[in-house]
Structure 1
């Protein structure tokens, strides 16, 4: 691990690409005295591995905060700006004031409440970013399972809102529901078809 300040927050998101549901952003400050074995990029872990690590991160981290940015805000701001805003809010919401925020990717939010450093592929190489990626992914997956219960027929519990063939087929058959992102091209195209049909 690099020699970052003790109160360094890792920041990552889950759900930028789906057609439905929120984007979820997490910030985590790990405790060097309470290491967590098995941290890795959430996409490389199985669902059961992520679920096992989730409570360990909550228990052992010095601070953590999760922000859920809903589809209405995504449509209002666009996905990039909604994600950047969520990152700022996640860092600002930490119980401890971060000295530095390590952001997964190659862009830094302008309104971070502390200095920031962008780390390409950070979720695979920085444990604090890995922890944030796990919190964001588990929170979002659980949220999508709940949305599947509220909006049956779309298969949200399986594909988590991503544009899989099954999801696109359900979208064509059922039309968009209230948690679909109207600003995303496949949803917008279907709504225009319905409008001018």
Structure 2
């Protein structure tokens, strides 16, 4: 009798875990609600690379605010790498214990400034001419056009807005997308 109740209880837990796993698999931006969901996500192979994570990636974690997510993206876009959970906690201004449950899906990789894997992102809404001309294949003329148009018509909303305003080819806009990070 006791054994059959135990099996029934274990079966309910497995059904619940399987349902969560299915839900997580189907949504690439599923927002984890609990430590159990993070554990399941890790078992499914989900990883968040903390040094190239987007705001949407950060918002998958339980308890993180959009302000904190934006702050983390700004930090990494400025060239600062997080090397461990302690670095992340310090940047968020919280104790390591508060974010310890995130550890199973966080991936800490170091990217050098000249790393092929993570090109430095530039915000075209506040970039200088010197920052823009460091982008491969971006001529000084186009860099100046970016600055002049930004001054005349305001900030760029996204890559398509920049492409339209500067009359860039789709291929060149696609190239720039890998080097630009748009924010106000």
More strand by share: 1
Structure with greater Cα Rg: 2
Larger relative contact order (CA 8 Å, sep ≥ 6): 1
TM-score (norm 1): 0.24
More helix by share: 2
TM-score (norm 2): 0.25
